[in-house]
Structures are given as structure tokens and as C-alpha cells.
Structure 1
Amino acid sequence: MNPDLSVDMGRLRLKNPVMTASGTFGYAKEFESLLSLDRLGAVVVKGLSLAPSKGNPPPRIVETACGMLNAIGLENVGVDAFIREKLPYLAKLEAPVLANIYGTDIESYAELAARLDGIEGISGIEVNISCPNVKQGGVAFGADAHTAQKVTQAVRRRYQGPLIVKLSPNVTDVTLIARSVVDGGADAVSLINTLTGMAVDIHTRRPRLANITGGLSGPAIKPVALRMVWQVAQAVDVPVIGIGGIMNAEDALEFIIAGASAVQVGTANFVNPRCTMEIIDGIEDYLREKGIASVRELVGSIEIPRF
């Protein structure tokens, strides 16, 4: 038996549920000699802004127990250079390509969406709402349900393709944010983005990151991510993409059973550049071993004891 690995992400059909996470896979070409890019369920590129960004000064990556802190600062070539220089290569891939976008105000999000609308080679966009809103004193867009909805609505008005909104875990109730972006027009949600953390050098008594704080990712955040995915999957009626500490097929399967229709692999790409291939193979082996015809049968199949 050859299990069916295909999944539906709203209007987008993926050949399997394994995607790459934005910011951990470059623009895909960096990995072409290490794995078969066409086997991926989808490629999510580095976050794009209207203008090129150099990101934060170094040091901007620190290893931690069971993970890493990053304060890269969303360094990228800018949307125009992306379309001109990076997209011709990406458009040749069999795997769908999703552009991750971020802005500093609602207008910049909307303008980014408009520039990517109808562009050949882009199968959809993922909106990063964990960024600071400069017009509200630096409060992240994803920290407030009303603001998150307004961003989603603005993007939806300017972009006709599949729209995914990436949720921040740095909130009191992630389900409120999830429902707000779905009401704003999101076709799917992805979560979680990194948790805010820091590290201190005890010898210099200074922060290890020049930015002081950074985003914690890797296995350390998996239990938090899994809990939030399970909660959101029950709260919304759109596909959920699970992210956070997925290192192998068992991790991915946990997210799928908890309610994720697909997963994104991030920090693991730095440890094992071929991990996505191994995860795809591992999911297929699991389905075959259990006699399950389709991975879609596993989505949300978790059994919660009732006492």
C-alpha cells in the first residue's frame, strides 16, 4: 500500500504535509545540493519587506539548551529584488512556493500583498504578524486581536491567492487571535512563531545577543507549540499548520494528530539539512505500518480521555 500523503490547505493542495519554515531555508537554492526540493510539500521563503533590510547587528544567534535564540532582524533582499532575482529559480520548482511578508504598519503589509498578487511562481503568502507596529509604539500586530484582524483584512483586499497568517505565541490567548484573522479572511493559520527569550554572558555580564532579546526556537518550544496548535485547531474551521521544534517524523505526527493539517520544519534544517526528506519518509512509513490510507485521516485524531 502506498499511503496518500496529500493534504488540502484551503485552496492549496500539497503533495505532502511537510513545509519549510520561513527564515530557516533561505530562498531554497541554498539547499538544492543537499535534498530534493521538488519532494517538499511547500517552500516558505525568508520574510520579505518592501525595502531591503540588513537586519540586526551581530551577535545575533545563540545556542541554548534544546534550541537556539535568533535576533537576525528579518534580513532580506526586499520584495522587488526577490521577484527579479530569486523568483525565476523558485518558479521552476514543483513544490509550491509561499512568500512570507512583514511590515511596520498596515499600509506596508497591504502594499506587499499587492506587489505579489498574481505573480507567477507564488502559490500563496504567509503573513508574519509578530512584527512591531511602529504606529502603536512597537506593539506586535499579533498581540491584539483587533489589530491582527485589520492587517489580515488589508492583505486580503489586495491579494486574491491563498492567504496564511502566522501567529505569535507571545499572547495571553492564541485562539482569540486565530479567530480574528480567520474572520479577517485568512484561508489558514500557521503557529507558532518564536517565543521571546534572552541569554546572558556571565563573564562579561552582558546579553549574548546585540539585540538583547531574540526568538527562541527548537525542541525546547515543542510542548508549547503543540498545545497551542491543539487549541487553535478546535477554535477555527480552517487548516492549521504546526510549527515549533519539529526535528523528526514523530514530532510531525504529534502535531498532525493534535490537529495540524501540515507542519513547517525550521531549526532542524540547521542541524540536519536533509531532515525534511526524512520526515516525509517517516510519515509514509508510519501510515504504512498502521494501515492508514491517507495522512488526512490522522489530522485531529487525538483521543482526549473524559473523566
Structure 2
Amino acid sequence: MDTLTTAVPPEMKISLGPLHLANPVMTASGTFGYGAEFSNLVDLQRLGALVVKGISLEPRPGNPPPRVVETACGMLNAIGLENVGLDRFIHQKMPFLRTCGSRIIVNILGDSIDEYAILAEKLTLVTGVDGLEVNISCPNVKKGGVAFGTVPEMAAAVTRAVKNATDLPVIIKLSPNVTDIAAMAKAVDESGADAVSLINTLIGMAIDIHSQKPKLANIIGGLSGPAIKPVALRMVWQVARTVSIPVVGIGGIGTAEDAIEFLLAGASAVQIGTANFYNPAAAEQILTGIEAYLSRQGASSIHDIIGSLRTTI
């Protein structure tokens, strides 16, 4: 009598330093709200992690509208880091996040190194927070508005301050608006970061030729979506070859094929961003697609493809 055999599903667990995830698919900060907004559209517990909208010490109203503009193969946004602030986040948003069944990573932002450290220290005491993602694309008001993420020494200083203030896993989110992103990644790696995520948005603008005015009230904004994927993929590949810590790939990922490219380039995990706006089920679909790809490849684990790009002919 023939014995039916069932294929063993591939192992999807990955680790970002001390942070262990059930799978490598995460949501990107600023594109998934505080989780509850998508709870009736996505099975949140299927995802490796939710990265919530960036949190500052005090609430921020953000920039005046218009704040979002559609572009060819992407979008520009100038939201201005609008958020509810730390206290409201803890008391109003975390109760739901504790119930969603996924790892919770809180993106933090500040105008000074002290603000980053205070946020890290306070969030360490909050039940349900599994890790921190540090947005270093913010301007340092004490240094004339230069973004922390554009000077290696400043990025390193923020990393050290956050690591000294918390025992939570710390992911540093890198800006692509630099000359050498590998140097930025190396600086935060050497300063104790547990992982890096990249890329944040590219700086861009759009003009209404009829009014002859900028389409964004802020004039410039952050470009995201499929248009930036080739840039993001190149930067992830460069950084993965430079640092000793895990890399999270972000930028124009809308399909499983997109995500797999980032994994092959060396990313240990991926974040889904702009795709959430036009396809709320994107993250789940991408996870299912990665699993199917691994099965077709005969791979037993997600680790079989991470960093396996063949660069020789």
C-alpha cells in the first residue's frame, strides 16, 4: 500500500540580533498606522513584525496639506512625522498591539540625542514592545538641522545613546540621502546596533505646471514605492557585504518576487511600505509567495536563499 507523504513546509524563522521573528515579513513604519487600522484587512499574527508609525516624545501635528502626491511608479509624502506622542501611544495604542499576535517594533524619532535616549528608556518599560527602530533621518536641532543619518559620527552617537538606554533590540533605519550608505551602516554597526533597516525615502518634489506651484505644501517630500526599488536593492546589497549585523530591506517591495530579490541580495528580512496603501493584503500575500518559492526551489529554510546572490558568470 502506498504511503502518502506530506511536504515539510520551509522554516521561516529569522533573527535580527536578539529579536526572533516567525518569518521575515514586516510592515514599514508610517504605512501601517498603529496596526488596528489594518486589523480587519490583514491577519496580523501571520506577519513577522509590525513596525508602528514613528513616535516622538510629544505629539506632532505634521505638515499642512497637501501632504501626499502620486508619482510615476510611486508617491511623494511630506506628512511631517505626525504622531500621537509617547504617552498617548502607550495608553491608547499599545493595549491593542499587545493582542495582535505579532512582534511589535516601535519606530522612534527625536530632535536631539537626549530625546532618542529618553524614548528608548521609557519604551523599555512598556509591556509588549519587542524592539526599537530608530529613525535617524530626523534633523538635529542642536546642530543646525543636519540629519543624524547623514553624518556617520552623529549616527553612531544616536546608536550608542539608545543602546545605553535600553536592553531591547535596536534597529537603525538608514537614510539613502548620503554619499556612502555603507559607511553609515558600518558606523552604527560598530556602535552596537543589533540590525539596520534600509532604505528610508529619497528626497524629491513635484510641480503643478498649471498653478506653477509645488504639489506639496512642504515643497519637498519623501519618494517611495516601486520607483525606488533598484536604488534600495543596490544599497541593501552594498550594506549586507559591509556589516556584521542583519539587514532589513525596504523600498518598493510590492510582490513576493520583489521581496525575494532583497533576500538574495543579503537582507534577512523585508518591510512592506507603500504597497500597503494600494493593496492592504500585500504583506500576507508576499509571505505566502516567499513560502511557495522556497518550496519550488526545494529549500528547507529561508536561510538557504538569504545572501545567495550569484555575482559570477
Pick the aligned partner of 1:186 from 189, 193, 204.
193
Normalised to the residue count of structure 1, the TM-score between the two structures is: 0.99
RMSD of aligned alpha carbons:
0.7
CA distance in 2, matches of 1:139, 1:223: 26
CA distance in 2, matches of 1:186, 1:7: 17
- Does 2:279 align with 1:277? no
Q: Deviations over 1:246-305 (max 9, x none)?
A: 000000000000000000000000010001110010000000111000011111000112
Correspondence 1:62-77 to 2 at 5 A: 62-77=69-84
Q: Please state how far the C-alpha of 1:20 moved relative to its aligned partner.
A: 0.1
SS across alignment from 2:53: coil
- How many residues are paired up? 306
Per the alignment, residue 27 of structure 2 pairs with 20
Correspondence 1:60-209 to 2 at 5 A: 60-209=67-216
CA distance in 2, matches of 1:93, 1:11: 21
Per the alignment, residue 4 of structure 2 pairs with none
Which amino acid in the other structure matches residue 95 of structure 2?
Answer: P
- Does 2:262 align with 1:255? yes
CA distance in 1, matches of 2:132, 2:183: 22
Pick the aligned partner of 2:46 from 26, 30, 39.
39
CA distance in 2, matches of 1:87, 1:234: 36
CA distance in 2, matches of 1:134, 1:288: 50
CA distance in 1, matches of 2:90, 2:103: 15
Which amino acid in the other structure matches residue 169 of structure 2?
Answer: P
Q: Deviations over 1:50-98 (max 9, x none)?
A: 0001100000000000000000001100011100110011011221000
Per the alignment, residue 216 of structure 1 pairs with 223
Pick the aligned partner of 1:225 from 209, 225, 232.
232
Per the alignment, residue 3 of structure 2 pairs with none
- Does 2:48 align with 1:48? no
Q: Identity of aligned pairs, percent?
A: 60
Per the alignment, residue 295 of structure 1 pairs with 302
SS across alignment from 1:263: strand
CA distance in 1, matches of 2:66, 2:156: 34
Normalised to the residue count of structure 2, the TM-score between the two structures is: 0.97
Per the alignment, residue 12 of structure 2 pairs with 5
Which amino acid in the other structure matches residue 246 of structure 2?
Answer: P
Q: Deviations over 1:11-53 (max 9, x none)?
A: 1111111000000000000001101000000000000000001
CA distance in 2, matches of 1:249, 1:59: 32
Q: Please state how far the C-alpha of 1:118 moved relative to its aligned partner.
A: 3.1
Unaligned runs of 5+ in 2: 1-6
Displaced runs of 4 or more, over 3 A: none
Unaligned runs of 5+ in 1: none
Q: Please state how far the C-alpha of 1:174 moved relative to its aligned partner.
A: 0.3
Q: Which has the larger radius of gyration?
A: 2
